[in-house]
Amino acid sequence: MRTFAYSRADSVEHAAHQTTPTAAFVAGGTTLLDLVKLDVMRPSELVDINTLPLKNVEWLDDGRLQIGALVTNTDLAHHPEVKQHYPVLSQALLAGASTQLRNMATTAGNVMQRTRCPYYRDPAAACNRREPGSGCDARHGLNRLNAVLGGSDACVAVHPSDMCVAMAAIGATLTLSGPQGEREVAFQDFHRLPGDTPHIEHDLADGELITAITLDPPLAPAGSYYLKLRDRASYEFALASTAAQLSLDGEMIGEARVALGGVGTKPWRCPEAEAALVGQPAEMATFERAADIALGGATPLEHNAFKIPLARQSIIRALREATRLARQGGKQEGLA
């Protein structure tokens, strides 16, 4: 049995300053405690941050919505401002995990959740992400669930979050607080591609705490849609998912945002596909071309080639739904 110390942070400064490199913050605990029990994560200390005042959702003067790090996935999904102005985020949250998990899971914890690659979660397997230099059993193993975008020789693990796919499409900024003070990081720069260093998963320094995530102003008037395709209809991670948002100018697409889940090593924003949508007619041929562009760089492994047509279909369907909703003036409930 491994022992660890436990402490409760009574302020953000305390959390940021008193944390050693081998300590871990615990929020909802739904990722962390599993990984500790599996002996994948071995923190020397758990710093409980649940009493910190990071549970607000509020509009900033510049039209962005700021979400405290400890807002639960349930509270965020059902928040009236999120349902009205960012329904794609509400849908993505409700497509994830189960009610009980969402009641515990927090916004920052969701951003920081680890891959579900079975080789990462098995300390007997080779995994460069868990144990740098040990190899990657997934590359030539049972890799049906692994990534087709953003992988490297060292790692092909999928980023598992639904919420992060919606945030990637919306655009967001993370506020981090640490021993060196406060700084901001664009959401798309926060998660790292694995490259040769898959164990470095995020742009988060030792002792740094995520205090808030601020969403870019909502697109208006716009339609949006989150489509998640998976092996079973609930309580399952995505094989492929798409968060799509677009605004219409008559029959032409004004602005467009597309991000993918279940296929990439990080929440996968598709800027080239977005560029191929803007100024084009909102019709099937445009959506198909954008989907082909989004997946142009996809590289299948032995068992997951099916993910490429599946993701293509998810992009097309999500864009069609987003268009339909934009034509209705964006009127949509955030509930899945």
Ligand X SMILES: Cc1cc2nc3c(=O)[nH]c(=O)nc-3n(C[C@H](O)[C@H](O)[C@H](O)COP(=O)(O)OP(=O)(O)OC[C@H]3O[C@@H](n4cnc5c(N)ncnc54)[C@H](O)[C@@H]3O)c2cc1C
Which residues sit at the interface with ligand X, rule CB under 6 A? 24-32, 34, 49, 69, 73, 96-97, 101, 104-106, 108-110, 112-113, 160-163, 209-210, 237
Distance CA 71, CA 56 (A): 7
The beta strands (E) that lie in 262-300 are given as 268-269
Nearer to ligand X, 119 or 190 (CB): 190
Distance CA 123, CA 118 (A): 10
Q: How far is the CB of 121 from ligand X (least distance, A)?
A: 11
Q: How far is the CB of 209 from ligand X (least distance, A)?
A: 4
Which whole-number Å values give the CA distances from 100 to 31, 72, 187, in the listed order? Answer: 13, 11, 27
The number of C-alpha atoms within 13 Å of 155 and in the hemisphere containing its C-beta is 30
Nearer to ligand X, 166 or 293 (CB): 166
Whether the CB-CB separation of 76 and 67 falls below 8 Å is answered with yes
Which residue is at the shortest CB distance from ligand X? 109
Q: How far is the CB of 81 from ligand X (least distance, A)?
A: 20
Q: How far is the CB of 286 from ligand X (least distance, A)?
A: 29
Nearer to ligand X, 101 or 305 (CB): 101
Nearer to ligand X, 94 or 293 (CB): 94
Nearer to ligand X, 266 or 320 (CB): 266
Q: How far is the CB of 114 from ligand X (least distance, A)?
A: 7
Which whole-number Å values give the CA distances from 322 to 167, 221, 224, in the listed order? Answer: 16, 11, 4
Cα distance between the two ends of the chain: 42
Q: How far is the CB of 323 from ligand X (least distance, A)?
A: 25
Cα dihedral sign for 27, 31, 37, 42? negative
Distance CA 129, CA 194 (A): 8
In DSSP terms, which residues pair with 296 in a beta bridge? Answer: none
SS3 of residue 261 by DSSP = strand
DSSP states along 167-195 = HHHH-EEEEEEETTEEEEEEHHHHBPP-T
Nearer to ligand X, 104 or 336 (CB): 104
Task: State the CB neighbour count (10 A cutoff) for residue 35.
Answer: 18
Q: How far is the CB of 139 from ligand X (least distance, A)?
A: 24
Nearer to ligand X, 26 or 219 (CB): 26
